Chain A
Amino acid sequence: MDILEEITEILTEILDIENHIITPETYLIRELEAESIDLLELAVAINSRFNIDVNDDEIFLRKLRDYITEAELQNKDILQYLAENLSFLSRKRLEEIIEDRKGGPTLKVKDLISYIGNRSRLSVYGSRFFIELCKPKAF
């Protein structure tokens, strides 16, 4: 089962939306009408299913508007500022978000996939690093 299939299974259960076709482009809040309580349930389900640390603020882009405001106040490039703070998202996706933000909450299923992929890679690298540290040294 790939990440999209697993997320679809979790969302179907939490939001009780059996007949809704979920794609990477599906908006969680605009289309699926996920509420804050659903997102918290989703966060713990992702932690359990993928065995990764989940920061709710990051995965659900909760600070997106704060970051944009901060960038504007500090006369910084918005895209660059978002890339620094939401490093699991590609520049292409961040450009989309900047364009799309006036239409409402921009969170899409593909953002969850990016977060999970990014965190899973970090976990794998972390484990490998740990294994390297633990290898017996030849004297």
Chain B
Amino acid sequence: MNIINRIEINSEMEDFVLLDKILETANRTIIGEKRYFNEPFYLGIESLAQLGAYHIRFLAGFEIHAFLLKINQCTIPANHILNGSYLLKGTLVSQSKSAFCYALQAGKGNKVQIEGEFLYATIDYDRMLNKKILQTHYRKVFSCLQRESKTDC
């Protein structure tokens, strides 16, 4: 069983991708989109975490593995529910060789619903984090999220 299969089994969500689109990527910023259907706020936090991690992988040419370490000062919606289409924005605030700090937010209309500072670490792929499987997977998902048509995804 490879790691992708394990992700599906654990989350019961196919590939556990909580992003619908990546609209823009630049050196320090990334913008994405996600539509929710009366879903709990923590899925929005996970969407933001995924957005930041994809930006790190994009910056590194998908040569390293990125994972969330910590969230500081996170605000959540008052009713704890997400419904409708949300714009997700990430800004790389600071970084070291192996850690990245992002200001990430999810907004609907003009209102920011979730906002926080997300700290990530990076490590090289190894025996447990198989480079061939994971690099291919993340490249494919990133590429699909950037496309208008999802027919090949």
Q: How large is the interface on A (under 10, 10 to 19, 20 to 34, 35 or more residues)?
A: 10 to 19
Chain A interface mostly helix, strand, loop or mixed? helix
Q: How large is the interface on B (under 10, 10 to 19, 20 to 34, 35 or more residues)?
A: 10 to 19
Instruction: Say yes or no: B97 contacts A44, CB within 8 Å.
Output: no
- Smallest beta-carbon distance A119→chain B, Å: 11
Highest count of chain B CB atoms <10 Å: which of A43, A44, A54:
A44
Which of A37, A45, A57, A59 has a CB less than 8 Å from the CB of B94? A45
From B69, which residue of chain A is reached at the shortest CB distance?
A: A37
Instruction: Say yes or no: B97 contacts A54, CB within 8 Å.
Output: yes
For the complex, is B76 an interface residue (Cβ under 8 Å from A)?
Answer: no
For the complex, is A23 an interface residue (Cβ under 8 Å from B)?
Answer: no
From A58, which residue of chain B is reached at the shortest CB distance?
A: B97
For the complex, is B121 an interface residue (Cβ under 8 Å from A)?
Answer: yes
For the complex, is B98 an interface residue (Cβ under 8 Å from A)?
Answer: yes
From A37, which residue of chain B is reached at the shortest CB distance?
A: B69
- Smallest beta-carbon distance B14→chain A, Å: 31
From B97, which residue of chain A is reached at the shortest CB distance?
A: A55
- Smallest beta-carbon distance A123→chain B, Å: 15
Which of B70, B93, B97 has a CB less than 8 Å from the CB of A41? B70
Interface residues of B in 89-140 (CB under 8 A from A): 93-101, 119, 121
Q: Do A44 and B94 contact each other (CB < 8 Å), given the known contacts A37-B70, A56-B99?
A: yes
Q: Which 10 A-B pairs have CB atoms at the shortest separation, nearest pair first?
A: A43-B96, A48-B94, A54-B96, A40-B99, A44-B101, A44-B94, A47-B94, A55-B97, A56-B98, A44-B99
Partner-A contacts on B (CB < 8 A): 69-70, 93-101, 119, 121
**A-B contacts besides A40-B98, A47-B96, A56-B96, 15 pairs, CB < 8 Å:** A37-B70, A40-B96, A40-B119, A41-B99, A43-B98, A44-B94, A44-B96, A44-B101, A46-B96, A53-B96, A54-B96, A54-B97, A55-B97, A56-B99, A57-B97
Partner-B contacts on A (CB < 8 A): 37, 40-41, 43-48, 53-57, 59
